[in-house]
A and B are shown apart, each in its own frame.
Chain A
Amino acid sequence: DTGVSQNPRHKITKRGQNVTFRCDPISEHNRLYWYRQTLGQGPEFLTYFQNEAQLEKSRLLSDRFSAERPKGSFSTLEIQRTEQGDSAMYLCASSTEAEAFFGQGTRLTVV
C-alpha cells in the first residue's frame, strides 16, 4: 500500500454534467476526508467519514454534492449538474488519530 490513491487525476466536463471521483485510502485508516482547493487558497473541508458513517459535512457541500464510503473502504464524491464554480482540485485524505495523509487530488475543470 503506497498511500492514498485518487482517480481520475484530471477531469474536464461540460457544465451541467455529473462527475464522480474515487478515493482509495490507506488500508488501515478508518477516517477519510474530502477537501476542495481552489487556486491560491488552502484546502477547504467538505466532509468526513469514520468507517462507513458520514459524520460531518461542511456548509460548502451543497445538495449537488454527495459522498459515500460503502463498507468503510474506498469513497466516492459525486457532483451533479456541475457549474463552472465547481472547478477546483478535490483532495482526499485518510488518517490515524492525529496525522492525515493526502492523495494527489483530482483536478476538475468545468467548461
Chain B
Amino acid sequence: AQSVTQLGSHVSVSEGALVLLRCNYSSSVPPYLFWYVQYPNQGLQLLLKYTTGATLVKGINGFEAEFKKSETSFHLTKPSAHMSDAAEYFCAVSDTGTALIFGKGTTLSVSS
C-alpha cells in the first residue's frame, strides 16, 4: 500500500528565506509524486509532479522538488519565500494515474 508522510504540520519562515517542506513516501511500485497547494476555502492546485525522467522537477511560482529514490523522499523547496506563498501544501503519491494518496499537509506561514 502507498502512503505519504509530511514531516512538520507547520513551517514558519521569514520573507526572503528558504522554504523547505519535507515529504517521504512509501510505494511498492515506481511512484508518481505530486505537490499541491491549497488556499483557504479553495480546491487544490498542482505545483509540480514527478512521473519519470529528470529527478529535479521545477514547478510554478518558483518551487522545485527532487525525487530521491534511495531516501524515498520528495521534498519541496523554494529559494526565497514570498508572503503570497502562505498556504497549505500537500504531498501525494499514486501509481500510473490511479487515486492520489495524500499526506496530512503542511501549513506554511511567511512573516515580513
Contacts and interface: CB of A to CB of B under 8 A. Distances in A.
A4 B46 contact: no
A43 B37 CA distance: 12
Interface residues of A, number: 26
B49 interface: yes
Interface stretch (B13-21, B71-79, B102-110): B102-110
Contact of A99 (B43, B49, B105): B49
A41 interface: yes
Given A40-B104, A107-B41, A45 B46 contact: no
A85 interface: no
Interface in A85-99: 91, 93, 95-99
A8 B32 CA distance: 31
24 contacts: A33-B99, A41-B104, A42-B92, A42-B102, A42-B104, A43-B44, A43-B90, A44-B102, A45-B101, A56-B98, A56-B99, A93-B44, A97-B97, A98-B32, A98-B49, A98-B51, A98-B96, A98-B97, A103-B43, A104-B41, A104-B43, A105-B42, A105-B43, A107-B41
Interface of A: 4, 31, 33, 35, 40-45, 48, 56, 91, 93, 95-105, 107
Given A43-B102, A91-B43, 16 more contacts: A33-B100, A40-B9, A40-B105, A41-B104, A42-B102, A43-B44, A45-B100, A48-B98, A48-B99, A93-B100, A96-B97, A101-B46, A102-B36, A102-B44, A104-B43, A105-B42
Interface of B: 4, 9, 32, 34, 36, 41-46, 49, 51, 90, 92, 96-105
